[in-house]
């Protein structure tokens, strides 16, 4: 049994211990190390390694009170803006969501404005659809659209402007 799993996950802000083992060469800023104690027990600790500075991984946070004698394994915590989604330790749905977020971030960074409305006539109704006349109806329409199209990412917009933007995206998708 390996102790302190809950503590290390809370400390690093991760849902579970990563599955990708450290290759022994690559630098990493945070890793979940399994350390051996003098009483033959094992527990998790936070490790780091910079191959330009360090000769070996360094333990930066220990959650156990017992003295430790060595490191068994290290599992690397992936960086959040890593763009190699296929190499990430994620299920297929999470990989698709990560690709979507990375593409959005890239568009924002590059200042790309994909104006897909250039060939589309924008309706006179502020809410884009003739059957929507207020924010409550807009929220109900967005919920129904998301359910029908099995869209699970993103929260319901909280502001009037956010609802209008979301409706404009749906309008554009429906008119492609």
Q: Both 71 and 88 in a single domain?
A: no
Q: Both 7 and 70 in a single domain?
A: yes
Instruction: Quote the domain boundaries for residue 90.
Output: 80-113
Cα gap 21→139, rounded to integer Å = 44
Cα gap 5→34, rounded to integer Å = 10
Number of separate domains in the chain: 3
What does residue 70 show for φ and ψ, rounded to 5 degrees? 180, 175
Q: Both 6 and 69 in a single domain?
A: yes
* Of the residues 58, 90, 113, the one at which a domain ends: 113
- Each residue's pLDDT expressed in tens, for the chain with a length of 176 residues: 899 999 999 998 888 899 889 999 999 999 999 999 988 899 999 999 998 999 999 999 999 989 999 999 999 988 765 566 676 666 787 777 777 777 777 777 666 555 544 555 667 788 888 899 999 999 999 888 888 888 887 778 888 888 988 888 888 888 87
* Of the residues 76, 103, 130, the one at which a domain ends: 76
Q: 3-state class of 30 per DSSP?
A: strand
Q: Both 122 and 98 in a single domain?
A: no
Q: For residue 165, is it left (φ>0), alpha (ψ between -120 and 50) or beta? A: alpha
For residue 90, how many C-alpha atoms fall within 13 Å in the half-sphere facing its CB?
Answer: 18
Task: Read off the pTM.
Answer: 0.49
């Amino acid at each position: 049994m390996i102790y302190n799993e809950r503590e290390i996950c809370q400390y690093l802000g991760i849902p579970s211990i990563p599955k990708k083992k450290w290759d022994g060469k690559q630098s990493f800023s945070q890793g979940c190390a399994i350390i051996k104690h003098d009483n033959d027990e094992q527990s998790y600790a936070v490790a780091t390694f910079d191959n330009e500075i360090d000769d070996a991984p360094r333990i930066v946070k220990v959650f156990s009170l017992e003295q430790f004698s060595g490191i068994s394994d290290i599992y690397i915590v992936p960086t959040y803006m890593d763009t190699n989604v296929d190499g990430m330790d994620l299920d297929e749905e999470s990989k698709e969501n990560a690709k979507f977020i990375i593409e959005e971030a890239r568009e924002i960074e590059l200042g790309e404005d994909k104006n897909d409305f250039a060939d589309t006539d924008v309706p006179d109704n502020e809410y884009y659809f003739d059957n929507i006349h207020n924010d409550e109806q807009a929220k109900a329409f967005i919920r129904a659209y998301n359910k029908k199209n099995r869209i699970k990412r993103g929260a319901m917009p909280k502001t009037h402007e956010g609802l209008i933007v979301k409706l404009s995206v749906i309008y554009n998708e429906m008119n492609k």
